[in-house]
Amino acid sequence: MAKLKGKILAGKVLVKPHEAEEKTASGIIIPDSAKEKPQQGTIALVGAAKKDEEMEVKAGDVVLYGKYAGQELNIDGEDYLLMSQSDILYIV
């Protein structure tokens, strides 16, 4: 992951999604058209806490999030998701 410059607004996090699985456990190769969007990623940047909500995640945390959570962004050729902390379901 490249060193990111910039600032995230309060209550928001920037997540680097993990790559989608290319093979099943039994070894079957999954074609691109059948791959599901990954729902797990690593926190790249964390914004400041909101007045009524403290930030419970930090950069480097691996998190699970909802299927349609966040806004897709491409920064310096890398894909990221910008989402609210409340979109995160679980910290691994």
> pLDDT tens digit string along 52-65?
889 999 999 999 99
Q: What is the pLDDT of residue 88?
A: 95
> pLDDT tens digit string along 38-90?
789 999 999 999 888 899 999 999 999 998 899 999 988 899 999 999 999 99
Mind listing the domains of the chain with CATH numbers? Answer: 12-19+27-91 (2.30.33.40)
- Report the b/e string of 56-79 with b at 16+ CB within 10 A: eeeeebebebeeebbeeeebeeee
